[in-house]
Structure 1
Amino acid sequence: MDGILDYNFQWAKMFSGEPALWMWEGFTTTLQISAIALVGAMLLGIFICILRMTPFKPLRWFALAYTEFFRNTPLLVQIFFWYNASHFVIPAGINEWMNDLYYWFPGPFAVLGHEFVGEWVLFNVELITGVIALTVYTSAFIAEEIRAGIFSIPKNQLEASRAVGLSFLQGYRYVIMPQALRIVIPPLISQALNLIKNSSLCMVIGVTEMMFQATQIESYHAIPFEAFSVALMIYLAISLVVSFCITMYNKHFMIQVMY
């Protein structure tokens, strides 16, 4: 207890100089990899869901193996797999090109009254492999949730759509899918939030997201409590903002449908 009471908190360090810059870079990197992976996971998840429902058995078996494999293996192991196998999966020329691809901040710019200038790596092998791991892992869960949403719609609705002249694909597009997507919005929100939080695991392969930067701040400036507290609060704020925005959109959408 004496050690805790005697600890000299240095919150000012977190909002000035290198710690503020590093945490800002970690924040933007976290948002970047989460947004890219979420879009990719949605598209890939819908595609895998379609394969799960196709009458062609080899495609169904492939989709089933895909979802079972990636849902039942740890994400951390998958991240290491993609990172260490990237030179087998990604051609060497593309690896070199990604290492040379940079984005420059249109600086100088100010955050919280502090000015930042410099270059920032937008794409590199570590970031790409982290996005691939998050995308593939999350898409397996999304595929199953969308499939469950489709199966929750009574079959007679598809039959009724065919009876009024819609084709099979039109019935799914205009009747089944709109209802299924409304049903799966809550679990999709949970998957989006899980993806944002899971992005912190990418620090193990050198992606400079928030946990990586918090660890770096702790090592170089010896303020572990402040660094990890700020990282925790940022993760909490992101989760609350995403939950609130999507919940409000869902509520507005439901009201319009009812009327």
Structure 2
Amino acid sequence: MPTLDLAAILHGQFLDWLVAGVGLSLRLTAAALLLSLPLGLGVALMRLSPWRPLSALAWTYVEAVRNIPLLAHLLFWYFAVPELLPDALKTWLYEGHIEAAAAVAGLVVYTAAYLAEDIRSGLRSVPEGQWLAARSLGMSGSAALRWVVLPQALRATVPPLISQTLNLWKNTSIASVIGTAELMTQAQRVESASFRGFETFLVATCVYLGVSLLITAAGALYQWRFPVRAATR
């Protein structure tokens, strides 16, 4: 009967592979989150624009992205997009880290569409009286948005933002299909070399769970420290 032996994979080269995979997964999550936040904010503002073509463009982006699987996004950025680039840039990418670059691009485009809807909901939750009060104080529309509306909207967006961060962290595992050396790819590598499938994927599962719980705890701590209070009209 097989016995559980975590020490068989938590040492030497196997441990190095797993640690490298965790590090890359965390970097993918951080990079994609930092890039998708401003993109999602921009798309959300476009959705609320009174200029119909701009609003329609943002709506098309959100609906197109959200109705295509993340796997298709990653494959598109890995196989299709480089072929559209100049030869020099394409060669540079393939000589470097095309897998990680394609993973970040796919994750950013995919995550930003969901963040845009969350931020748009946050913006719409701010009472119209806040806009009117800011304008009555002599603020321009952009100043009212920047100093009055956005701070309230973004604080209200924190709970869904935590959920999207969790989804983003877990979605990094799908990048294994394009050869990105994140945690799941490295776990498969360890399993193939050690023939310890149960132990390997048990460790990977615990890492995904542990990081997810840390993200959830950080979100709960933020909401406790900075509770969202309804704005008066």
Q: How far 1:255 moved relative to its partner?
A: 8.8
Q: Is the 8 A contact 1:95 1:125 kept in 2?
A: no
Q: What TM-score, normalized by structure 1, do the two folds share?
A: 0.84
Q: Say whether residues 1:149 and 2:144 are aligned partners.
A: no
Q: Say whether residues 1:52 and 2:47 are aligned partners.
A: yes
Alpha-carbon distance in 1 for matches of 2:38, 2:155: 17
Q: Say whether residues 1:66 and 2:39 are aligned partners.
A: no
**How many residues are paired up?**
230
**Corresponding residue to 1:212 among 173, 185, 198:** 185
**Corresponding residue to 2:162 among 189, 212, 215:** 189
Alpha-carbon distance in 2 for matches of 1:205, 1:57: 38
Identity %: 38
Q: How far 1:86 moved relative to its partner?
A: 2.6
**Corresponding residue to 1:199 among 168, 172, 175:** 172
Q: How far 1:141 moved relative to its partner?
A: 0.4
- Greater relative CO, 1 or 2 (CA 8 Å, sep 6+): 2
**Corresponding residue to 1:167 among 132, 135, 140:** 140
Q: In structure 1, the residue corresponding to 2:157 is in which secondary structure? A: helix
Q: How far 1:56 moved relative to its partner?
A: 2.3
Q: How far 1:55 moved relative to its partner?
A: 2.4
Q: Deviations over 1:221-252 (max 9, x none)?
A: 10000110000100111111122123213322
Aligned AA for 1:156?
G
Give the helix-richer structure, 1 or 2. Answer: 2
Q: How far 1:78 moved relative to its partner?
A: 1.2
Alpha-carbon distance in 1 for matches of 2:117, 2:227: 23
The gaps in structure 1 that reach 5 residues or longer are: 1-5, 102-123
CA RMSD of aligned residues (A): 1.8
Aligned AA for 1:237?
G
Aligned residue number for residue 126 of structure 1: 99
Aligned AA for 2:66?
R
**Corresponding residue to 1:22 among 14, 17, 20:** 17
**Could you list the runs of 4 or more consecutive aligned residues of structure 1 that deviate by over 6 angstroms after TM superposition?**
none
Q: How far 1:53 moved relative to its partner?
A: 1.8
Q: What TM-score, normalized by structure 2, do the two folds share?
A: 0.93
Alpha-carbon distance in 1 for matches of 2:167, 2:156: 19
The gaps in structure 2 that reach 5 residues or longer are: none
Q: In structure 1, the residue corresponding to 2:73 is in which secondary structure? A: helix
